[in-house]
Structure 1
Amino acid sequence: MYRDASVQERHQGTEPLKKINPTSVPIEKKESIRWLDNVRQSTELLGDPGRCVHVGDRESEIYELSCAAREAGTHFVIRTCVDRLAVNGDHTIAGQIDEVAVKGLHCIEVRNNNGDPDEAVLKIRYRKIRVSPPIGKQKR
């Protein structure tokens, strides 16, 4: 969940917490604007946007970032947490990735819930995907 999405307001101290719909808040009023600022600043400093690849975690998975990177002529790799619509809105990112062969395996040591050592196998898959706007942003 995005940090911005967990914003809650308390009204008059006695009412229950009210959850704010993060899609109704403009990106300019969210902490997430820093991701867009980073794209703009780094491409200006580099002077060659096509050589710039932005890498983001799940917090950076916002549609506006993909739009800003595309407009700037840069590239990006983002770890997703939401299975967004892709292609022409008739597929999802997960469906597109499932069609790709595993391109790398990495074994890493982790700790389980008891703190005991364990091993996790990471399967690496990637491909270029056209991400469709979220339903609430398709008219913009």
Structure 2
Amino acid sequence: MVARTYPDDDPTTALTRTEIAILDRLVSDTGNRGAKPGTLQLYLTKLARLGGYLARASDPLPGNTVVWRGLRRLADIQIGADLNVGASCG
């Protein structure tokens, strides 16, 4: 909801730097629906795309369901990355 109220805010308002880095690596900036680079709105769209949102020009803004799916996938990916880093250290 913060991204809808303040779309040009810094993405660290809602996401950690690790989550932002993962989204940057996994989801391209194409199809960002006109969001400015480095804004909360861009990362909300990336998160929604991770949850299955297509971000076509005629699509409405992403809803709660695709954002929730994206958050769940992002959390799973982050756990996997953390486990991989831990395995390589031991």
Higher helix proportion: 2
Give TM-score, length-normalised by structure 2: 0.29
Of structures 1 and 2, the one with the larger relative CO (CA 8 A, separation 6+) is 2
Instruction: Find the structure with the greater CA-based Rg.
Output: 1
Q: State the TM-score, normalizing by the size of structure 1.
A: 0.21
Higher strand share: 1
